[in-house]
Structure 1
Amino acid sequence: MKNAIQLLTDDHKKIKSLLEELANTSTRAVKKRAQLLDEVATMLKIHTTIEEEIFYPAFKQAGNKDDAKTYFEAMEEHRAAGELVLPDLMGTKPDSEQFSGRAKVLKELVVHHADEEEQGMFKRAKSIFDKAALDALGERMQARKAQMLGE
């Protein structure tokens, strides 16, 4: 069983890799683009849900004022990606150059957010939580993930 940070970091790797692949597709790769985008959308939805429902609140509660600021910033970055950039991309014709541009912007946004989390929030979480707490959070997140995949 992975702890909370391992679980989230693995998600980041998978999502970054999918976004990289998506950003490198050509306007002719219509089916491939649609399939990759679908996968990215599903993974992002599950990932942001487990962060927002489980990890972030625990982090904010256990932390200090600076950690609360980190929490709110992370929530806004999720909103930017999930409610603005991703829906735009999903509504864009896969054979257009506009799609290429929007895919690249989503990738840059997600990569920036993931890197920031890993270097800031996750490092900090390791000092806020003990091993047992990180394991317990990981278990809850894994269960929620499984539940969402089964929906």
Structure 2
Amino acid sequence: MFSQSTKDISKTKASDTKSTEPVIVKDKELYYDSHLVIDEPIPSSKDSNNDNTIYNTAEIDSKPTFPGGFEKFYKFVDNNFKYSDENIDLKDKKIYTTFIVEQDGALTDIKILKDAGYETGAEAIRVLKKCPRWIPGEKNGKKVRVLYSLPITLK
């Protein structure tokens, strides 16, 4: 049930109201700062290396590398890559990948841009997830997150 006033509004005089003009309420204007970044943590003095920015390889001082270099990386891929069907000739076919090398060297956000078919993209993701931690990239002497693009040539 609702409670309603029993006051008779019809007897209210115009002089009893504050104004006979309609009241216009304006919305507050919203100001946007073009330099405002949402959802990024504010750096604290305790942890000076919590930069969540993802850099590309052109913006950093040293690029991420696989421990032992790319020769060992490709050897790791060759030793761990399993073909779904041994009768399919995938020699010299390429799988184009991107991933983020984190500040601790872990690979995250692994994506396949183009694969060679026959579930080679899924297998490349499995192998990259199994990969040992990389040596992270650095900018101004600090380890940073780096977006890395890498073709994997099947042998």
Q: TM-score, normalised by structure 1?
A: 0.25
Report which of the two has the higher share of strand.
Answer: 2
Larger helix share, 1 or 2: 1
Larger radius of gyration: 2
TM-score (norm 2): 0.24
